[in-house]
Amino acid sequence: ALICYYKRQPVKSGAISWGRFFEECCPAAMGGITFSELDQAVRETLRAHVSKYELRVFWRRLDADGSGQATIPEFTRVMYVIEMSTWPDLTPEEVDRTVQTLNDAAEKWHRAGGNWFKIFSFIDFDESGALSYDELRQCIRSTPPGLRLKESDLSERCIQGLWKLLDSEADIEIPVYRFMAFMRQHSKASIHRLTSYSAKKRGIEETKEVMPVPPQRSFGELRRTTAQLERALLEYYASRGIHALGLPERNWNRFFREIDMDNSDRVTYFELRDAFQAKLRKWVSLSEDDLAGFWGLIDPDRSGEASWSEMALALYKLDVDSWPDEDDAAMDSVAAALSEALKLRLHTGGNWYKAFTIVDKESTGRVRYPEFRELVRDTWKGLAVKPEQISEKRLKACWKRLDNNLSGDVNVAEFMVFMRRHGAQHSMHKLTEYSKKKRGLVQEPQEDSTAEIASAPAFGDQALGTVAMQLSLAVNNWLLARGVRQNLHSPQLWAQLLGFASNGRTSRMNFREFSATVRDLLRVSAAEVSDDELHAFFREVDADGTGEATPGEFDRAVYRLQVETWPKLEDPQIKSLVSHLSSAAEKWHRAGGNWYKVFTACDQEGTGNMGFPELCRIVRKSFPGLSISTSQISDQDLRGFWRALDTDRSGLVSVREFMVFMRTHGKEFSMHKSTQYSLKMRGELPDEDEPALGEPPERSRDQLRAIHTRLDEAMMRYWRRRGVATGASFRVATMWERFFREADASGSGRLSFPELERSLRTCFQGRAAASAALDSPSSQDFITRGVNRDDLHALWASVVDAEGFGETTARVWLVRNYRLQLEVWPDMPDKALSKVVDTISAAADKWHRAGGNWYKVFNLCDTEKAGRMSFEVMFDIIRRPLPCLAIPPSRLPESALKGLWKALDTDQSGDVNVTEFMVFMRRLEVKRGVSHSPKAAAGSIVHRARAMKEREGSSVPELSQEQLDMLRMYLDDHSPATFAEAYEKWEIPWEGLVSEWDFHRIIRELLGIAEEHLDDLAVYAAWSSMDSSVEGVVPLQSVLSLGQ
């Protein structure tokens, strides 16, 4: 009826739901509806074919507390419970199988198998922290980021049965902790691996099939295995009537797609093995070792999965390995034959690019062997080269040389280089003498300085460093004379010299050119730098022995020689320099030990690299530099520091090199103090088993409440010390949420017990004291005043993490401790609650003229306009002066406020929304007979309509004596036999019981009483008189006894 109603609407938009229907049709009923409003909405607006009797039976379930009203959430929940009751109950085996299917799909699409929190995050599309059935089903059925499970993979029955178990409390949505607890209970897959002790205690024994280690197989053995499988594939497809002749690659591709049922383009060893055994065993029989060897071929990275591209490439490499190898002369003959065919067919002999484009039809810039063979053999589009000219054996050898990296294809650059190398004499491009000279094809007679350079005497680093400095000064003076000012250590120094010396033609210089440049251009005499020193210097520059050197090689050699002459510092000296740097960074930038911040101060250009000049500037210059004088760090010490820092002599130090160096030589100054766990993971501590928490100590509930109160007080003191204003707006929830954000270094949103303990100790005791206490933990160590480690452990194990997940979030911490405190708050009867409500209403009427207007009262409490309020907010609004309610404790004690709040927060979530608040207040007024609605004049239309509505929505009327006599008269004509016959006619099993749904049919069809003689309300009254305990069924004898 609801769906048909919205289909009749002219504008069809938005989701169809009961909440939307009541909001549009009965806006006044959003706080709660009566039976009359429900009857009007269902029977008149929706035009549903539901009798008033059936609606009354439904209302009896809906208004379970007998208040005369039902909220929209209650209505939705009842509908949800009724629908879910028709869903199937899964067996334990079906549940385990369903959970495993979800886990496998999560592993396939998101690599999240066993990570139930990550799986929950994928399903929880609106990121509300709660999961509904629609979200679960949408995630299971939709494409990625969904799990893409079809009906054949996971049936609707399994999804409904799984949800029925997940939402056993009929909450419509389930929180993350309940989802994770259920999944962990029914699944062996988890990212958290249990120890053998934990698995034993939980009765879990992991039995997982292990993939065999691929045995060593030669390519010849693997080719025999592959050949057997290819023949079996040919027979397999022939038996299915599929034309499978042609390239074996097509059969492999078709077979791979059959195995890859989920279209993920990946298969596992077990999927491939099972497919071979199920589909090909009729034509091939392979051992487990043969299959494992074949798997080792197609899964070379040992990832446990193989894609189609990996499989195709592995089979290609296996095939190409068997092809022949031929020499350069054979390749030259292939190039000559192809050039001749190009000239004959296309009149473009030697145009290798055009030959490539003939087969590269899709312009991808790459060709494979079938396309290359088509170029050579095809008589229509190719070159029609016959086997007599180029044999198949030689053609394969040519391709093997072309694809020397075994990538499966050849790009245009590889093709052109190969053909030009082996068919240069046939090329359409003729080289000039200059090109031949540059390519080394023509040997130019020149003076050979190699022997002189090699025989030059060996000079030490000090001597070569002096030569490098003299030459650098000469280059600098030469540039100054030309009006170019350049830093002595600039990388452009030698580049400008070489560019001028070669007139910009080349950026390389041999020794003959270098010697002429030094003597003629720089005018450095033999008395200043001898020929032997020049030879030795050039030998140092040309480290790779090519006979030529680039500007970069000159710069690196000069820099390396200069740095080698700088002092070499010992570890104590380096630590002293690091101490000075840390002190200056703390003084000027509050960054002592923060080496990243120190580096960014030095790296003024933001390149991520730092040179020696940059280091000198930041050390010596005043603010924002470090302003360190030469009396603290001398120039020689600074050079020695740089020599130790730049170990690879690249001239630049990256941020990573800088931070590793500073952390190595300045651990005691670092802002990051390694925990025992970190030291253990880095191998700086002996590998010892971490002691377990052990059994939690015994604490009573009152003691746990006292522990939590002391922690709240300590946390409030901590934030005050931090300078955070802890006024009325700074709630308990705010300070704990802020603490969890700062303590959560990994960003996971969760803390374990060791992380919680470490963070609390750091906050309350300071970093140094906390580290000392954690290094030698004791159960009696106090974390804060009145709370020791045992107390915190007891609170954790008994309240916060009672399920034993090992982690908690800020929300769980707050809610669990709030419920702990709520246990001792008073339970107030309706009479006492009424007094509290009246007091609040009177104050609202006095200050805001809002007595009885609970929506306005809620908005007074909801200062942040969030639609929710906490106890602290309500307490402040009631106690504080205008514009609040200013109710003193003498008129409304704190115990009364706590009792009111406990009655309001029925779900113990820690806050109350506007619907919960208004429903509670309205129900309390209905029970007391209080109404704040405007008074209608007696006898007016409004007054008469309201009176009729109240009569219809009041308690069920009693049957008159006349109606009872009529029922008695009709029932006298019937017996159990007639009832059994009627049930058999209606095809309803007869068990001697009459249900509330059958009773209406009995009255109308079996007894034949029309509605004008006994309306639906009277029928319902008759049923209510029999079923006073609301069981839904009564014995037949009760029906036959009506009216007696």
Each residue's pLDDT tens digit, 111-153: 666 676 777 676 666 677 788 888 888 888 887 777 888 888 8
pLDDT recorded at residue 674 = 58
Percent of the chain with pLDDT over 90: 1
Average pLDDT over residues 687-693: 49
Confidence at residue 611, expressed as pLDDT on a 0 to 100 scale: 80
Distance set, CA 605 to CA 32, 624, 655 (Å): 66, 14, 13
pLDDT in tens, 799-833: 888 777 788 888 888 888 888 888 888 888 888 88
User: pLDDT tier at 620 (50, 70, 90 boundaries)?
Assistant: confident
Mean per-residue pLDDT, 623-629: 80
Say how many Å lie between the first and final Cα of the chain, rounded: 40
Please report, for residues 23, 491, 831, 873, 918, the alpha-carbon distance to residue 854 in angstroms, rounded to integers and kept in the order given: 19, 78, 19, 16, 6
Tokens 């292939």 belong to which residue?
334
Structure letter (DSSP) for residue 186? T
d(Cα 1008, Cα 1015) in Å, to the nearest integer? 13
Convert 30-84 into a string of H (helix), E (strand) and C (coil).
CCCECHHHHHHHHHHHCCCCCCHHHHHHHHHHHCCCCCCCECHHHHHHHHHHHHH
Residue 908: the pLDDT is 84
Nearest CA among 748, 749, 751, 754 for reference residue 793: 754
Q: How confident is the model at residue 687 (pLDDT cuts 50, 70, 90)?
A: very low
The tokens for 895 are: 């115990």
Q: What is the pLDDT of residues 26-62, one digit of tens each?
A: 665 556 788 888 888 888 888 888 888 888 888 888 8
Q: Render pLDDT for 246-291 as a digit per residue (tens, 0 to 9).
A: 567 888 888 888 888 777 788 888 888 888 888 888 888 888 888 8
- Pairing, β 366-367 against β 911-913: unpaired
- pLDDT over 70 at 995, yes or no: yes
Report helix, strand or coil for 269. Answer: helix
Classify residue 114 by its DSSP letter: T
The type of residue at 174 is I
* pLDDT-derived band at 502, boundaries 50, 70, 90: low
More confident residue, 707 or 933: 707
In this structure, are residues 398 and 334 in contact, taking their beta carbons and an 8 Å threshold?
Answer: yes
Q: Region 1017-1040: what's the mean pLDDT? A: 83
For the question of whether the overall pTM of this predicted structure is more than 0.75, the answer is no
Helix axes 767-775, 753-765, angle to 10 degrees: 140
Q: What is the mean pLDDT of residues 750-760?
A: 86
The whole-number pLDDT of residue 955 equals 54
Burial of 559 (0-12, 13-18, 19+ CB in 10 A): buried
Q: Provide the CB-side half-sphere exposure for 918 (13 A, CA).
A: 22
Q: Determine the average pLDDT of the residues in 496-521.
A: 73
Residues in the chain, overall count: 1044
Q: Find the mean pLDDT for residues 842-857.
A: 72
Of the two residues 958 and 327, the one the predictor is more confident about is 327
SS3 call for 259? helix
Residue 979 has pLDDT above 80, yes or no: yes
Q: Is 154's pLDDT higher than 80?
A: yes
In the prediction, which pLDDT does 286 show?
Answer: 81
pLDDT (0 to 100) of residue 686: 46
In this structure, which amino acid lies at residue 634? S
* Residues contacting 832, CB < 8 A, separation 6+: 896, 899
How far is Cα of residue 654 from the mean position of the Cα atoms in its chain?
31
Residues 359 and 375: beta-carbon distance below 8 Å = yes
**pLDDT (tens digit, 9 = 90+) per residue, 532-559?**
888 888 888 787 777 788 877 777 788 8
Q: Identify the pLDDT of residue 693.
A: 64
Flag whether pLDDT at 690 surpasses 50.
no
Answer whether 185's CB lies under 8 Å from 177's CB: no
The answer to whether residue 182 scores a pLDDT higher than 50 is yes
Mean pLDDT of 79-84: 86
Confidence at 861, pLDDT banded by 50, 70, 90: low
Phi–psi pair at 334, nearest 5 degrees? -65, -45
The mean pLDDT value for 865-878 works out to: 76
On the question of pLDDT at 416 being above 70, the answer is: yes
Contact 289, 299 (CB under 8 A): no
Spatial separation of the C-alpha atoms in residues 91 and 85, rounded to whole Å? 16
Q: Is 845 helix (H, G, I), strand (E, B) or coil?
A: helix
Lowest mean pLDDT among 461-475, 487-501, 743-757, 782-796: 487-501
Confidence bin at 639 (pLDDT 50/70/90): confident
Per-residue pLDDT at 748 exceeds 80: no
pLDDT tens for 192-244 read 555 666 656 656 555 556 777 788 888 888 888 888 888 888 888 888 777 75
